[in-house]
Structure formats: C-alpha cells, structure tokens
Amino acid sequence: MFEQIADKLKDAKKIVFVTGAGISQESGIPTFRGTDGLWRKYDPMKLATIDAFYDDPKLVWEWYEDRRKNILAAKPNPGHQAIAELEKYKDVVVLTQNIDGLHQRAGSTKVLELHGSIIRIKCTVCDFKGDFKSSFDELPPKCKCGNILRPDVVWFGESLPQDVWQEAIIQANSCDMMIIAGTSLVVSPANTLPIYARQNNAILIEVNPEETVMSQDMQLSLKSTSAIALPELISIFQK
Ligand code: APR
C-alpha cells in the first residue's frame, strides 16, 4: 500500500497523525457518522452540547457513563499499536479527536486530545479536574464545592482547550508528513489541521475506507481500515 511513498516515509523527520473515531472502530467503539454511528441512534444536540447538559445533566451523564464503560472495556487495536510502534523510528505526534484514550493505552507518548477525554472529569464552576475510571454513586456527581461535575470533553458549540489547540497547530505546521486516519474531517477546527500541514508542504496521506471531503487533496488516499493499513506502514521500517 505504501510502496509508492516508502522513500518519503523513510525520509520523513516528523510524522503527525490526525485521528478520529474510525481508528477506534475496530476496537468495538462506534463511530459518529458511519452506518453504525452514534449520531444515527442519538440526537447529538440532545446529548453533546452544553445546553443539553444543563437541560438534563442526568441524561447526559447516563450516556457518557454508558460510553465510558464500553471504552474502558475496549482494547487498542493494531492501528493504535502501529502508531505507537512508529515512535521507535520517527518523531511521532498524535492529534486525536477521540476521547477514548486508546492511543495512550497503545503506548503513544505524544498525544494531544483535541476534544478532551471521557476518562477525565471537571467541575462546572471551580477549577477542579480529575481522572475518573470507576462509576459514581449518583448522577450527576457533585464536586466538593457543591456544584455538578461534567465529563472533560468538548461539546458542540464549545471551543477546544486553547493551549491544546495552539500546540496542535504548531505540530501541524512543523511536520513533513501528516497521516489522517479514521476521520470524516467534517468537524472544525480539527478538520483544518491538514490545511496547516499542506501550507508547510507536508505530504498528506489519508487512511479511510470511505471517500472524505479532503480525499482529493491527499498525495495518497488509502481506501482501507486503519487496523490493516497502519501495520503495513510500520512493516516498511522493519524490512
Ligand atoms: N478505519 C479507518 N477509518 C474508518 C474505519 C476504520 N476501521 N471505520 C470507519 N472509518 C471512517 C469513516 O469512513 C469516517 O470517515 O472513520 C470516519 C469516522 O467519521 P466520524 O464518525 O465523523 O468521526 P470523527 O471524524 O472522529 O468525528 C469528529 O465529531 O461528533 C463529533 O466530537 C465528535 O470527535 C468527534 C468529531
């Protein structure tokens, strides 16, 4: 699959990955917009917005608790593992829209979580933040300050954590190769990262079984799943 750009892969100094729900699909975590996608079953405007949360915090918490249980039971797949393995050969940074923590659990050490993490929680009022891997006795859970806690994720209509976003732009602007895997590239501003990379003359590679809005802009658009294509990418360095 990667033969035609094997030399460019080997010459690349820094490889930045932009990943989305598709890379976790083979770990059993549904995507958002695919045929089995979450947004086909649920209305995102009722579950993944700040207004929805304040309208019915218990419902939103029940949905996230359900997702979190699945995510904690899921395992990184060969796609996540290949990206982690690539760190043996290259400077690798992962800019992920996923909140499942599977890149880190696969061993990737430089991961920017653009949309937060389902495993982290924060207070809606004070500056408390913490990891949470077990369940709560009551939903919505309360902070020590008495206010309700929320998942530390970015909802529609909210801005990304500015420090994370600024760092992501720096990474996209300073790579010589960007591999976009498992994302429909329909949600901004994450979908602008390939544009930053292209402005820096980076080689753009897409790994997605479906066509996306940016497939035509890629030097290589692989119609494959990430669990198949990314281990093939690593095999180039193992020859
Ligand atoms: N390997 C690679 N790509 C896959 C696979 C797979 N096994 N299975 C599905 N895909 C592709 C789909 O073709 C689709 O293009 O993954 C993409 C998933 O797209 P979305 O469901 O839109 O997910 P994503 O791009 O991550 O959504 C971005 O939208 O709902 C918000 O905050 C949420 O972070 C999410 C953001």
Can you give the pLDDT at residue 56? Answer: 95
pLDDT band at 22 (very low <50, low <70, confident <90, very high): very high
Can you give the pLDDT at residue 136? Answer: 85
C-alpha of residue 188 to centroid of ligand 1, in Å: 13
Domains along the sequence of the chain with CATH: 1-28+76-115+160-239 (3.40.50.1220), 30-73+117-153 (3.30.1600.10)
Can you give the pLDDT at residue 91? Answer: 98
Q: Is 115 a catalytic residue?
A: yes
pLDDT digits (tens, 9 = 90+) for 114-163: 999 999 999 999 999 999 867 888 999 999 999 999 999 999 999 999 99
Can you give the pLDDT at residue 132? Answer: 84
Index of the ligand 1 atom closest to the CA of residue 184: 15
- The rounded percent of the chain whose pLDDT value lies above 70 is 100
β 220-222/203-207 pair status:
parallel
Would the CB of 21 count as within 6 Å of ligand 1?
yes
Please name the residue whose Cα sits nearest to atom 13 of ligand 1. Answer: 210
In angstroms, what CA-CA distances link 208 with 15, 182, 215?
18, 6, 9
Cis ω before 189 (30° cut-off from 0): yes
How many CA atoms lie within 13 Å of 19's alpha carbon, on the beta-carbon side?
A: 31
Does pLDDT of 235 surpass 80? yes
Residue pair 70/29 in contact (Cβ under 8 Å)? The answer is yes
Would the CB of 25 count as within 6 Å of ligand 1?
yes
Mutation test residue for ligand 1: of 63, 115, 183, the one with most atoms within 8 Å of CB: 183
Nearest Cα residue to 200 out of 234, 239, 173, 177: 173
Tell me phi and psi for residue 49, to 5 degrees: -135, 155
Can you give the pLDDT at residue 197? Answer: 98
Measure the CA–CA gap between 164 and 158, rounded to whole angstroms.
14
Mean pLDDT of 91-115: 98
Angle between helix 226-237 and 78-86 (nearest 10)? 30
C-alpha of residue 97 to centroid of ligand 1, in Å: 9
Mean pLDDT of 34-52: 90
pLDDT digits (tens, 9 = 90+) for 63-90: 999 999 999 999 999 999 999 999 999 9
Can you give the pLDDT at residue 3? Answer: 80
68-73: long-range contacts, CB 8 A cutoff, minimum separation 24? 68/118, 68/119, 68/151, 69/135, 70/28, 70/29, 71/29, 71/99, 71/100, 71/101, 71/102, 71/118, 71/119, 72/119, 72/133
Residue of 67, 80, 115, 150 marked catalytic? 115
Residue pair 45/60 in contact (Cβ under 8 Å)? The answer is no
Would the CB of 31 count as within 6 Å of ligand 1?
yes
- Averaged pLDDT score across all residues of the chain: 95
Can you give the pLDDT at residue 115? Answer: 98
